[in-house]
Amino acid sequence: MSKQLIHAGVDIGTTKVSVVVMAQNESTGAVEVIGAGFAECDGLKRGVVSNINKTADAIRAAVDKAEQTSGYKIGPVVIGVSGEHISTFMTRGIVTTRTSEIAEDDVKRLHDELAQVHVTPDRRILHVIPQDYIIDGQDGISDPLGMSGRRLEANALVVTGSASAIDNVYKCAERAGLHVDAVVLQSIASAYAVLDDAEREVGVAIVDVGGGTTDMAIYKDNVLRYVSVIGIAGQRVTDDIVAVLGIRNTDAESIKVSYGHAIGESILRDEHFQIPGVAGRTPTELSKSILCQVIEPRMEEIFDFVLARIHESGLSHQLAAGVVLTGGCTELYGSELLAQRTFRLPVNKGFPRGYTMDVFAREVTTPSRATAIGLALYSLQHHHEFLSDAADVQQPVQPTEQPPVTQVPEVPVHKKGMAQRLKDWFENF
């Protein structure tokens, strides 16, 4: 039986930790989800670790479930990061080519030059993404390989995060017994899971409304052009329900998921449901339409913030594919309808794609799992860039009768880059 090389993505969210394990069949190229695990988490606030022990315990619980379902010991992982500490800026790199024709070595040296951009000690570079190339003064070049020229330049978008926030993510993973191969911006990971090449080509904004943050990324011409993180998301909707109904957070979350609507027009049948009493008090009843009056203003506020960032990007008129919604909070009934009314653009719900699955279909084919799926896909496509050898660390913990899969084939190198500075601090509604 051949050795099986697996890839694991860990999405550390404000309300939950999601772990997805993937493998790729060398002969067929098929990517398969072979394990998944989820656990509640209250160790983060607005995407940033606030309690290392609670977060590490949640990671360990989710990883244990993923190991049980996959039959493999998880070692190296790719972890997502978010939070209002994320910022971007633009930079430029220049190299002189070794010959009159631009070769792979020249492009690699240019990328290395871009990665050496200076940041302050309190910042950490997450991604460097070339936007376009310039050859001997000729700009607007997307792929310089094989072209003639002696001077190669590139504009790049640099995505950075708080060094302390990123270090705390590493500490949580290490306490959970994991080795971190890479830390990836969550919106980029979600894009791996739910966007296709056509959408990236013509222009699309992906909006991931999670528990603590709303992450947004804009792609145009197959290049990441803009990212932003908004510190208001689904947990704020739950907080509003808690404040209005006077119930526990867990009950409010359950009611939001089961009966919540983002817009009144999506309610086809205005049913009544029971609200549990607190401390033995008598339960009461509420209608979906009344609950919607609590939820809709907050969802509208979230989408208004996103719209402002879309206009800020300067790309609002280049989104031919519109907006793709993903993340757990977008599973609210009517979220697409409200988004269409706010953005005045085509809106689609983003479901994870690009893999096969059998027993894990229900667990992983939802918008709330998009980031974890995308992190595993990122690991699969970039494993050759990591220092650790996953095949040496991740070993079977029990026999499996599934057909063997081996190391993944080569994939195109992920472009890395830079942009402008992120901003804003959000206050209560």
Its sign, for the CA torsion 193, 197, 198, 203, is positive
Strand 204-209: give its sheet, edge to edge.
223-230, 214-220, 204-209, 323-326, 347-349
Ramachandran angles phi, psi of 296, nearest 5°: -55, -45
User: Looking at the predicted structure, is the pLDDT value of residue 278 above 80?
Assistant: yes
Mean pLDDT over the full length of the chain: 87
CATH number at 272 reads 3.30.420.40
Question: What is the reported pLDDT for 281?
Answer: 83
At residue 361 the predicted structure's pLDDT band, cuts being 50, 70 and 90, is low
Domain presence at residue 429: no
Last residue of a domain, one of 393, 408, 423: 393
Domain presence at residue 413: no
Cα–Cα distance between 235 and 50 in angstroms, integer? 15
Same domain, 248 and 227: yes
Domain presence at residue 406: no
Of 256, 248, 199, residue with least CA distance to 222: 199
Q: Which domain holds residue 274?
A: 197-351
Give the angle 343-318-189 at the CA atoms, nearest 5°: 75
Cα–Cα distance between 205 and 207 in angstroms, integer? 6
Same domain, 175 and 267: no
Question: What is the reported pLDDT for 353?
Answer: 83
Same domain, 322 and 240: yes
At residue 427 the predicted structure's pLDDT band, cuts being 50, 70 and 90, is very low
Please compute the mean of the pLDDT values over residues 328-336 and round it to a whole number. Answer: 96
Same domain, 207 and 294: yes
Same domain, 337 and 365: no
Same domain, 76 and 124: no
Condensed to tens digits (0 to 9), the pLDDT of residues 123-161 reads 999 999 999 999 999 999 999 999 999 999 999 999 999
**What's the total number of domains in the chain?**
3
Same domain, 201 and 182: no
Same domain, 171 and 233: no
H helix intervals, 36-176: 52-70, 104-115, 163-175
Condensed to tens digits (0 to 9), the pLDDT of residues 172-219 reads 999 999 999 999 999 999 999 999 999 999 999 999 999 999 999 999
Domain presence at residue 416: no
Domain presence at residue 400: no
Cα–Cα distance between 158 and 124 in angstroms, integer? 10
pTM of the shown model: 0.86
Domain presence at residue 114: yes
Same domain, 91 and 77: no
Question: What is the reported pLDDT for 270?
Answer: 94
Same domain, 235 and 361: no
Please name the amino acid found at residue 239: D
Collapsing DSSP states into helix, strand and coil, what is residue 136?
Answer: coil
Condensed to tens digits (0 to 9), the pLDDT of residues 9-27 reads 999 999 999 999 998 877 7
Same domain, 49 and 100: no
Residues 6+ apart with CB under 8 A from 224: 127, 129, 157, 188, 191, 217, 218, 415, 417
Question: What is the reported pLDDT for 421?
Answer: 34
Cα–Cα distance between 232 and 210 in angstroms, integer? 9
Same domain, 276 and 322: yes
User: Looking at the predicted structure, is the pLDDT value of residue 275 above 80?
Assistant: yes
Domain presence at residue 332: yes
Last residue of a domain, one of 301, 335, 351: 351
Least confident of 69-78, 88-97, 178-187: 69-78
Domain presence at residue 294: yes
Please compute the mean of the pLDDT values over residues 159-174 and round it to a whole number. Answer: 96
